[in-house]
Structures are given as structure tokens and as C-alpha cells.
Amino acid sequence: MPANALPRTEEKPPTFDDLRGQIQADIFSHLPERLDRLSWDAGRLRVLQRDRLRALLRQVRQRSAFHAERLRAVDPDQFEVSDLTSLPVMTKADMMAQFDRLVTDPRLTRAAAERALQQTSTEPVPMAGGFLCMATGGSSGQRGIFAYDAAGTAEVATMIFRNRIAALAAMAGTDAATAPVPNTTIAMVGAPSAVHGTMFIPSIMAGSPISFVHVPVTLPVPEIVSRLNRLQPDAVFGYPSMLARLAAEQQARHLAIAPKLVNCTAETLLPAFRVAIKAAFGAPVMNTFATSEGLIGSSGLNEEFITLGTDGCIVEPVDDCYRPVPPGTASARVLVTNLYNHLQPLIRYELSDSFTRQADSDAHGHMRVTVDGRSDAILRYPGAEVHPLALRSVLLTTPEVLDYQATQTVHGISVSVLLERPADLRRLEDRLRTAMVRAGLAGPHVEVQEVASLPRHPETGKLRRVVPA
């Protein structure tokens, strides 16, 4: 009988301070190894993936009722990574509907996770067992809850910052895997609540040599500028839409900071944003792809490609029928198997992201991709589909537009624009209408209005630029 079918017992959760100390001890004791993995070749990574996958399968067959049913024919000791394609796909809907049967510890329930999330503000609220959880709405709006034990939290936190530490060490001419961890202050311009990773991680790292100082992205821009001026961070981490706004503040000399690097995360890094950020701060730009599900990737300095942390997750870019797509072809979705979260096992879990696999690197064996957006951000109308790029190609070539949000309507779009200076909105409407006609939508209705601010999610602080119906 899976352990999560046993009677559930009451247990007092640890304090967050005690749990944070335990997690940080794990992070820094394993940091050299996790940094070293960044340079592992493909053969060495495949062995690690196989061994971690077999350990995961052994665990879930014993302790997860959900997976025990689905994987009853699997022999974990003989299983190869290539055998993954024989296993069923799981979705966010599956995960949420079967949450209590999916997890491997009886102390974790969906009800307990929901209570912890309701009580979360600037720090995560620990549950019995020392479990912590995050929530995400996803670009589709479908809510998901993701829980980690202390060891899983340590690994996902390390994956978030290890590429930054490696980059800073390389810029200083040292080896991050062997040199002492330098005291580094990273400003995280991110979510206002620790239910999201951009505040979850800063709270975990507080008081350590790698200090993420949280600056809520939902604050007024002048207040963000003031906080950053006081902080003078070594690096800045944040949403590209806000970092582009801050680049304008730096150019106007309201903001005066000199970070060694700037790291974008949580939103698509548009080419125009990358140019503006690099020009304003005079620092290399990195880009991070991070999911609450535990798949983390990062670009190198000023690189477009994302290198995925395939020591922690197995990644399968697939088409609409879940068949592998070849390098150079955009996937319809991505299947992820998290190798380190044994508490809430995700095996061939479906993400709606679209990846295009790039040529392998000579320096390491990790998968490299471009992230082409979310497949569920496409605007679908009867007889026509409009890709967000059709709108971006117009809006990003309108110099007066600082940022925007386009919302699908019955037969067109309603666009809110944040302007740097006055613009001809009627002409912008005509250009957007033409772009939608070219995409196949006959006679679209387009409305553009200027706004003083764009709505961000109250918990995550994310800005959705294209909102499907």
C-alpha cells in the first residue's frame, strides 16, 4: 500500500527560520558539485539522469498511489531514459485533481497546501514535514500548486542562482566550483508574494552570502528606483518588462546603479528589451527560464539560447501528438520529468511552452533551446489563428510604446498601451488591423487606448502582454 494511503497524523511544522537554516546548509554543502555539473558532458549527464530516474521510479511505485497505478508494469532497476516515451503523459489538471494520491508523504495534502498559501505573504509558510509550496496561474490561467521538501527546495534554489554565480566568477577570473562563495547582493525586482518563485527564492537565501534583496515589482516605479539607488546591488534580477522601464530611468539619470550583470526572468525577453537594458546599464544581460515545476534554465552572458538544467530534469520537446520534434523545429509543448522532487513527483508532465532545440555546445552536454513562447497564448478565432508575434511586430516597432497588453475580443483585440510620448493611436490601430488580416482574420475590430499603468498579477507581479479569450 502506498504510504500516502496511511492515516494522516498531526505534526507541528518547523519555524521558517529553522527550515531556512537547514535549506541553506544543504545549498552550500552541495554548491560545488551543482556548479561543477554545469560543465558535465552529455555522457556523464545521461548516466546521472538514468540513476536519478530509477531512484525516482522506485520511490513513486512505493509511495504514490497515482503513479503506482500508472507505472505498475515498470521495472525501475532496468529502466532507461529512452524508455520514458512508453509512459503516459500527465497534465496540470491530472495533478490538481489527484493531488493527495500523487504526493509521496501523507502529511502533504492539497488542503494543507492551500492553507499555507492563504497565510503566505513575504515568506513561505512551512507545513508539517518542513514542506514549502508555491502556486502558479500559468499563462492559461489554470492554477497549480507545487510543493518541495527541504532537499528539493535547496536544489531548485541553487538552480535559480548557480549560473549567475558562475558568470560573476568567470568575470572575476575565478572558478566558481572551487573558489569561496563571495558575498553577493542581488536585487530581485519580482513578485510581491512568496507564493511565486521571484520572492520565494529571496526569502530562502536571506542572511546567506548570496543575498537576494526583494524589491516588489508592483511598487510605483519611483519607489523601485529609490530602493535600488540605496541598495547599489552587484546584480539585478527581474521581469524584463520592468527592467526595460528601469533602463529608461537609468538613461534619464533618475536611477544610478552599476550592476555587474542584469538577469531577466519570468517573462519573454523581447529583443528590444535586451537592447535597451544592455545599453542603459552597460552590463551583460542573462536570461532565465524558470518554472514552479522545477525546470530551470539560463543563458550565458549576452546569449540568446537557454541552457536547461538537465541534471535536474529530463526535457522532451514534442508536437501536438507528443512525438519528439527534431532540433530546429518549434515544439507544440514540452514534457518534463523532475528528477529531484520526490515529494510531488512530476513524470512526463506537460508544459505549454514552445521550445526550439539548438545545436549542442562544445562546453557541456545540457540541452540548449530558444523559448518561443506559450502555445496557449495564440489568439484563436473561427477560421483563423493569430500568433502573438503578429502583434509584437507592430507594437515593438512603434517607438512611442513603452509596453502594452493586448486582450482578445470576439472578433479582434483591445490593446492598452503605456506611452513614452504622444503617439498616433488611430494609425497604430490600422497597422495592427493589417497585421491581423495578414494572419488570416477577416475584418478584425481593433481598439487601442493609452493607460497610465498596466495590470500585473497581484501575487506574481507578472504582466501578460497577450491575453487570449
More confident residue, 406 or 179: 406
Q: Work out the percent of the chain whose per-residue pLDDT is above 70.
A: 92
**Domains of the chain as residue ranges with CATH:** 1-375 (3.40.50.12780), 379-467 (3.30.300.30)
- Residue 395 and residue 331: Cα distance in Å, rounded? 25
Flag whether pLDDT at 71 surpasses 90: yes
- Cell reading at 457: 498579477
Contact 280, 254 (CB under 8 A): no
When pLDDT is cut at 50, 70 and 90, the band that residue 1 belongs to is very low
Strands 384-386 and 379-381: antiparallel
Closest-CA residue to 236 (of 290, 271, 282): 282
- Residue 247 and residue 280: Cα distance in Å, rounded? 5
- Residue 139 and residue 466: Cα distance in Å, rounded? 9
Contact 409, 469 (CB under 8 A): yes
> Taken in order 307, 316, 460, 154, is the CA torsion positive or negative?
negative
Closest-CA residue to 403 (of 394, 395, 412, 393): 395
- Residue 302 and residue 27: Cα distance in Å, rounded? 27
Q: Is 194 helix (H, G, I), strand (E, B) or coil?
A: coil
Residue 78 is which amino acid?
Q
278-285's contacts with Cβ under 8 Å and 24+ in sequence apart are 278/302, 279/247, 279/251, 280/246, 280/247, 280/248, 280/250, 280/251, 281/236, 281/247, 281/250, 281/257, 282/258, 283/258, 283/259, 284/167, 284/171, 284/260, 285/261
Flag whether pLDDT at 376 surpasses 50: no
- Residue 163 and residue 184: Cα distance in Å, rounded? 13
Flag whether pLDDT at 449 surpasses 60: yes
Per DSSP, the residues of 76-143 read GGG--GGGGGGSPPB-HHHHHHTHHHHSS-TT--HHHHHHHHHH-SSS---BTTTBEEEEE--TT---
**pLDDT given at position 225:** 94
Burial 263-300 (b: 16+ CB within 10 A, else e): bbbbbbbbebbbebbeebbebbbbbbbbbbbbbbbbbb
Cβ contacts of 60 within 8 Å, gap of 6 or more: 67, 68, 71, 104, 342, 345, 347
Task: Please tell me whether the overall predicted TM-score, pTM, comes out greater than 0.85 for this model.
Answer: no
How many Å separate Cα 11 from the centre of its chain? Answer: 32
**What value does the mean pLDDT of the chain take?**
88
Burial 316-331 (b: 16+ CB within 10 A, else e): bbbeeeeeebeeeebb
Strands 333-338 and 313-318: antiparallel
User: For 44-48, 287-291, 307-311, which range has the lowest pLDDT when averaged over its residues?
Assistant: 287-291
Contact 194, 124 (CB under 8 A): yes
Flag whether pLDDT at 140 surpasses 50: no
pLDDT, tens only, 454-465: 876 655 456 677
pLDDT, tens only, 225-268: 999 999 999 999 988 878 988 999 999 999 999 999 999 987 77
360 φψ region: left (φ > 0), alpha (ψ -120 to 50), beta (else): beta
Contact 302, 262 (CB under 8 A): no
**pLDDT given at position 397:** 61
Flag whether pLDDT at 374 surpasses 70: no
When pLDDT is cut at 50, 70 and 90, the band that residue 39 belongs to is very high
- Residue 160 and residue 166: Cα distance in Å, rounded? 12
pLDDT, tens only, 403-435: 788 999 999 999 999 887 899 999 999 999 998
**pLDDT given at position 458:** 59
User: For 146-155, 177-186, 300-309, 322-331, which range has the lowest pLDDT when averaged over its residues?
Assistant: 177-186
Q: What dihedral do alpha carbons 67, 68, 71, 75 form, nearest 10°?
A: 130
